[in-house]
Amino acid sequence: MTAQTQARGTAEFLLYSEDKLSLDAVTLASGENLAAGAVLGAKTKRQAAAPIPTIVGTGTGLMSALSFGPDVKVGSYVITLTATSSTAAFSVVDPDGVALANGAVGTAYSSSHLSFLISNGGTMTAGDAYTVVVTAAGTPVLVGTGSGTVSGVSLGKDAQNGTYRVQLLATSATAEFEVIAPDGSKLKRGQVATAYTSSHVNFTLANGGTMTSGDYFNIVVATHTGQVVAWDPTATDGSQEPAGILYAATDATSAATPCTIVARMAEVEAALLSWKTGVSAASQAVCKARLLPKLNILAR
């Protein structure tokens, strides 16, 4: 007789929960096909870049001091003047079409998405617009007078959403640079033409032309889709952090698919949890221990 293995049933792993308070409706990312009890992580961040745009219209006002906050999204932010004036108001619309707070020419604009200054220049005309394009996996562009380039940009496990500012500290082909994290903390310094590695960001700043003190690059860490995948301790997109446990088997092989997860306030049977192929027993133990302080889920 051929032995058969029965798939784990819906919520079979669940010992206790706070009913609907414990459950969240989320989306399982395309390419995943997971059993009930699969331990999940969520995609919350991705490396991106966005150059400072020029005005489109009849005016000549300049945008400067562009940086990004923890809620920055991939896509196009459209900033449009709503009046013809040297202190004209402008609207700001995010990539999903959501209107953010308005701002005004000549006054620094700040939000959890992006910050910048539009300076008056020539005739600032109603309808003039700037489009800030945040591109996933984009290459940072130098702000300043030099022509150095960045390559090999990747995120580390501790990457924070927002802007990492990489700024030259000297005018030299081998200049030292500092790296300032989104929370304002300074990471270890690096040097032009030497690969920079850290638990936050990794890159190489190559000399090009004149590398001038004060020149800088913005490495953007934007929000991701928020979709869930099998928990992966080696990931850097946020899915290295436990986000919940899959309530029922879900097949998203062909397309992202809605699913339900146990996200908080529950007790589960550790032996009935399932893991991404290749995740070691030691890593599983670390994750199970983190479920309680992070999500208030106890794995017995």
CATH of the domain at 33: 2.40.300.10
Specify whether 56 is located in the same domain as 103. yes
**Is 142 inside any structural domain?**
no
Q: Which ranges constitute the DSSP H helices of 231-272?
A: none
Q: Which ranges in the chain belong to alpha helices (H)? A: 281-295
Q: Residue 231: which of 268, 286, 269 has the closest Cα?
A: 286
**Residue where a domain stops, chosen among 80, 109, 135:** 135
- Asked whether residue 2 is assigned to any structural domain, the reply reads no
Q: What does the pLDDT look like over 150-195, one tens digit per residue?
A: 999 999 999 999 999 999 999 998 999 999 999 999 999 999 999 9
Residue 4 lies in a domain: no
Instruction: Give the CB-side neighbour count of residue 168, counting CA atoms within 13 A.
Output: 29
116-151 b/e (C-beta count within 10 Å ≥ 16 → b): bbbebeeebbbebbbebbbbeebbbebbbebebbbe
Residue 115 lies in domain: 47-135
Residue 128 has pLDDT above 50, yes or no: yes
Rounded Cα distance, 44 and 228, in Å:
9
Indicate whether 202 pLDDT > 80. Answer: yes
Of 108, 135, 162, the position where a domain reaches its end is 135
Residues 117 and 79 placed together within one structural domain of the fold: yes
Q: Are strands 297-299 and 266-268 parallel, antiparallel or unpaired?
A: parallel
Q: Is residue 264 part of a domain?
A: yes
Q: What angle do CA 289, 227, 48 make, to 5 degrees?
A: 105
Q: Is 144 among the domain residues?
A: no
- Give the count of alpha carbons within 13 A of 267, CB side only: 3
| Same domain flag for 252 and 238 | yes
pLDDT tens profile 58-91: 888 999 999 999 999 999 999 999 999 999 999 9
pLDDT-derived band at 124, boundaries 50, 70, 90:
confident
Give the CA distances from residue 22 to residues 29, 128, 227, 247, 249, in Å, rounded to whole numbers and listed in that order: 21, 48, 18, 10, 17
26 and 72 in a single domain? The answer is no
CB-hemisphere CA count at 13 Å for 86?
A: 3
Is pLDDT at 5 greater than 60 in this prediction? no
Residues 86 and 56 in one domain: yes
- Of the three residues 73, 107, 135, the one that is the final residue of a domain is 135
pLDDT tens column, 11-52:
999 999 999 999 999 999 999 999 999 999 999 999 999 999
Residue 6 lies in a domain: no
Are residues 19 and 68 part of one domain? Answer: no
- Is residue 8 in some structural domain? no
Do both 161 and 104 map to the same domain? no
Pairing of strands 149-155, 62-68: unpaired
Give the whole-angstrom CA distance, residue 74 versus residue 56.
21
Number of domains in the chain: 3
Phi (first) and psi of residue 54, to 5 degrees: -100, 160
Q: What is the pLDDT of residue 121?
A: 81
pLDDT of residue 59: 86
At residue 210 the predicted structure's pLDDT band, cuts being 50, 70 and 90, is confident
User: Are residues 229 and 218 part of one domain?
Assistant: no
Residue 274 lies in a domain: yes
Q: Please report the sign of the dihedral spanned by the C-alpha atoms of residue 223, residue 225, residue 231, residue 237.
A: negative
Tokens representing 54 are: 């020029």
| Residue range 213-258, pLDDT digits in tens | 999 999 999 999 999 999 999 999 999 999 999 999 999 999 999 9
Q: How far apart are CA 200 and CA 202, in angstroms?
A: 7
**Does one domain contain both 293 and 254?**
yes
Question: Is residue 165 located within the same domain as residue 205?
Answer: yes
User: Does one domain contain both 69 and 35?
Assistant: no
104 and 179 together in one domain = no
Give pTM, 2 decimals: 0.92
